[in-house]
Amino acid sequence: MPGEAPIAAVAATATIPDGDRRVHLLREMLRIRRFEERCVELYSHTKIRGFLHLGIGEEACAVGVMEALLPSDSIVSTYREHGHALARGISMRATMAELEGKLEGTCRGRGGSMHIFDASTRFYGGNAIVAGGLPVAVGLALADHLRGDQRVTACFFGDGAVAEGEFHESMNLAALWHLPVLFCCENNLYAMGTALDRSESETDLSLKAASYRIPAWEVDGMDVLAVESAARSAAETVRSGGGPHFLELRTYRFRAHSMYDPDRYREKTEIKRWEERDPITTLSARLSEEGLLSSDALELIEADVAAEVDDAVAFADSGTLEDVADLRRWVTSEPDRGAGVP
């Protein structure tokens, strides 16, 4: 983007996390990874039904961006949002209960894996429609802009969304009205099973955003420190009136698009190359080399995370299914505007 500092310069001037903070980032990524690995088991045992889209391999994007936001900021996500929800601070118990369809979930179990929503943390979905969250994010940002609130709305979406009309309409309005949106494109190279270069004539996604005069930065989405640094710098600029910014987080999902996907469109060698850049193992090794994380300390973190996942599963398993007689409630607005809604 003409006039914009390259991402390397941005990273050099941003606050670098200290040792404890780096360990915290590692722990957050481990929470997401172990949660989703358990989801695979639960899905196989039909405790989780419907669709299940995992972000294993993409944890650095969720953790890095969330660390750069304030509690007052808003988040709009996609159907691959478990990591975003956990990193935002939604409890693992409520998230797992939602996936198991229990009343104790974030949406009474009605949303499931693809529609996690929690107003208390300003987490506005979980949207199943590709690119469907982009205009929602622009609307939230417009409301903040009109009210004079210094909030940032962070909007996650995948590379497949860039081919949709909503992407271009949202980019145009956000730039035209100078709205406080941080667009976070998780470019994992595949829109479902279609490679980016087989469906897009222009594969430089940052260039597309820049064509709307939006500052656009390319970021290594497998490096949580790089993501946090870039997101923090961009969010601060957006918050201070700098208008919308676009981060292209170059990442990779290690598993298929969804649990139904046989994953026959990628070479195993390609997956293996990306697994060598696993954001968790690379940060863990880096911390160990720098003397900031011992093997005993890592084992303790793993044990704590495993206990949290076990607790979340037990909580969800013991949860309550909604009474069939109530299933039609709140499908449409009630005359008293929802009185009695928990």
Task: Kindly give the parts of the chain with pLDDT less than 50.
Answer: 1-14, 341-342
pLDDT for res 13 = 39
Q: What is the 3-state secondary structure (H, E, C) of 235-304?
A: HHHHHHHHCCEEEEEECCCCCCCCCCCCCCCCCHHHHHHHHCCCHHHHHHHHHHHCCCCCHHHHHHHHHH
Place of tokens 């939602």: 98
Paired with 249 in beta bridges are 186, 219
Positive or negative, the CA dihedral 118, 119, 121, 122 is positive
pLDDT for res 337 = 58
For the segment 147-199, what is each residue's pLDDT rounded down to a tens digit?
Answer: 999 999 999 999 999 999 999 999 999 999 999 999 999 999 999 999 999 99
Q: And the tokens for 286?
A: 């880096």
Q: Which of 188, 175, 131, 120 is nearest to 157 (CA)?
A: 131
Task: Classify burial at 260, counting beta carbons within 10 Å of its beta carbon; exposed 0-12, middle 13-18, buried 19 or more.
Answer: exposed
What is the value of pTM for the model shown?
0.92
pLDDT for res 156 = 98
DSSP string over 86-148: HHHT--HHHHHHHHTT-TTSTTTTSSGGG---BGGGTB-----STTTHHHHHHHHHHHHHHHT
pLDDT for res 3 = 33
Task: Please say whether the beta carbons of 173 and 179 come within 8 A.
Answer: yes
Residue 125: how many CA atoms within 13 Å on its side-chain side? 20
For the segment 31-75, what is each residue's pLDDT rounded down to a tens digit?
Answer: 999 999 999 999 999 999 999 999 999 999 999 999 999 999 999
pLDDT for res 8 = 37
pLDDT for res 225 = 96
